Structure 1
């Protein structure tokens, strides 16, 4: 047996030549090596079959007539071991029977007669090796596609699981945010109502005026199409605009500012700073506190306390400033009817559009002017009743105040046995029964 190198590493692609004639093997080996092809030569087909354990052959060139095993039988066994390996039969006999046997048994890819023409043999060898290479590439690509499809399937399954899990997490977070938002709204409302009661309890401060300012702030915010949060906070600033006065001498606010001395006016205009300090623990009212603190800023920059100009002034402060001055002008009007007093107040603030007030906010006030004296309507059927007529489950349609203007219950309160009992006790001390607007029981 003659061979080039039986220790060639696994996966090295070679051409395997099988022939019992040593001269033929030498001729084939020399021809292939001269043409830079790797070749292994073997003179025994049985020994050649063992080479497939450690080698990958791209092409087998086998003689037909061999003593222990003919070419057709050998190539048939090769096809079982390496079906993609190309197979060429080399025969010195031109009879049809041997060729047919090789085609049927070994399913050869070509045959060449001895003596061969080098050009023809080399062309057949190179074509066969190219076919083997293409088959191998195609097989590798199929495996790669199969692997990638499997990975994609697993990825899709994992992605679906992740999306489902993430969707549940997002829903949970949104629910938590909704709950937190509701708690925040309740905290806003409760704090404002509590502080508003302090204003109403002071005999020198007008709770009705605070409520009017609050309603006007709401109307302006709605016409300006501010954010939902800004619209919710706008009336709170109106309700609490005077809260800082509670820490001051009543002499500073029991009469109009125009009648105060210069020193008293300086002290009076510090009440927004006092309000800011009072509201500091209520972190959830930061925007409200900011609006109150800057309520005396002017659009042209000649205001207090920072002298802010134009849009540098918080929008809540600009809305509050206009609403407050509108109702102060309303109180100072000498007209005899409320309608005329409203018109006087509007004309007064319009004179300062672009100097004291943002023109856009003045236009919003003018657009909402017709609603300033309207009461807020309630949805659904309502009933006016006394405390003695209340029943559990009834819903309060409007906030309930005592004769001093102090808020007793907020709008939306669901009456319980305990709250009804307390109202009935208070009603016994009043000269006239409460007029309570309620909606149907839930």
Structure 2
């Protein structure tokens, strides 16, 4: 994988000189001035290194690199500065907006070495993050699979809620999509101590029994306490803590946080949770959305609009089909609860099947405790390809 470098200067002759020096050596682009540079910045495709001149009209290099830091925080920022700009450059370095500055005129060898070191640093930082996030996500996936077996009523919702939350997040083009992905898997963590009766009330949108109301009201903060000590999950913990907080400031936790001060991931997760409950009650995405819209003061209007757009695009409108145990595959999504003969829930509707869940169902079938046919969501063409790849 090659990493890109952006050179910024308002002097075209300087940019032409850079082109002569680094053609075939670096994967680079040039920008004639800060405004052209800002148009090239893309959080989805960041530059690994940005090298900017200090003295430019309307916006100097320090101001530009401050903007770069906000848009693509991992980008290594290098300043080329003359002696007259030295004090301003030192201040920018001290404020953390610039990783390194080089005095002009700068020998080609020194500039290339600084860029190479910047590329190495960028690769190290982003590689460590990808490794950490991949490891965490894998661990969380395994944890949720285990919890869905031992506590299906609480964790059986995860697959459906995550699908809804990520659809909203994609529609809104959220930057913190990884945090939302993990939070939408771990939101029921504080519910594991609640009784089945209390959980059923939650899922049906009914008041929780008085004797368990205290425990119910604590479940977001209990989950937060478990998560906030884990490195890299601080934002996830905040999302989970505010999953029941309403946009108008009501709800849990009982504090003064309201509106845009609520973490955006929590605003998305709340709408996803309530939409999932309404969908189970009404079996129609449009009707479920309409139910949320009748209480619009509880939700971020931008989140509701994103959900509306996704429902219009077919979110949660999959048809059903019946499959045998032999046809059941990891990755399929159950369209109906699987219960023992006595009514005890084994796997909840909306749960995406894993190897362990399928083996569990196979065991129950062998002992005649459940039927050997299952209702699943009919897969789209893309989903069928994915399932075939899994199998």
Q: What band does the TM-score fall into relative to the shorter chain? A: 0.5 to 0.7
Give the conservation status (yes or no) of the 8 Å contact 1:397–1:438: no
Give the conservation status (yes or no) of the 8 Å contact 2:198–2:209: no
Q: CA deviation at 1:371?
A: 3.2
Say whether 1:439 aligns with 2:381.
no
One of 243, 248, 251 as aligned partner of 1:295:
243
CA deviation map 1:18-55 (0-9, x unaligned): xxxxxxxxxxxxxxxxxxxxxxxxxxxxxxxxxxxxxx
One of 212, 217, 238 as aligned partner of 2:184:
238
Q: Distance in 1 between matches of 2:192 and 2:249?
A: 28
User: Partner of 1:351 in structure 2?
Assistant: 294
User: Partner of 2:378 in structure 1?
Assistant: none
Give the conservation status (yes or no) of the 8 Å contact 1:291–1:317: yes
Within-5 A mapping of 1:81-160: 159-160=107-108
Give the conservation status (yes or no) of the 8 Å contact 1:252–1:260: yes
CA deviation map 1:169-209 (0-9, x unaligned): 11111211231121122133123213312431234515442
The worse-fitting range, judged by mean Cα deviation, of 261-270 and 297-306 is: 261-270
Give the conservation status (yes or no) of the 8 Å contact 1:398–1:437: yes
User: Partner of 1:272 in structure 2?
Assistant: 220
Say whether 1:366 aligns with 2:308.
yes
Give the conservation status (yes or no) of the 8 Å contact 1:201–1:406: no
Within-5 A mapping of 1:133-212: 159-205=107-153, 207-212=155-160
TM-score normalised per structure 2:
0.54
One of 225, 239, 256 as aligned partner of 2:173:
225
TM-score normalised per structure 1:
0.49
Q: CA deviation at 1:426?
A: 8.6
Give the conservation status (yes or no) of the 8 Å contact 1:217–1:234: yes
Which protein has greater RCO, CA pairs closer than 8 Å, 6+ apart? 2
User: Partner of 1:253 in structure 2?
Assistant: 199
Count residues with an aligned counterpart: 249
* Structure 2 unmatched ranges of 5 or more: 1-102, 319-325, 339-345, 367-371, 374-383
Larger Rg: 1
Q: Distance in 1 between matches of 2:117 and 2:252?
A: 48
User: Partner of 1:216 in structure 2?
Assistant: 164
Q: CA deviation at 1:284?
A: 1.5
Q: CA RMSD in A?
A: 3.9
Say whether 1:326 aligns with 2:275.
yes
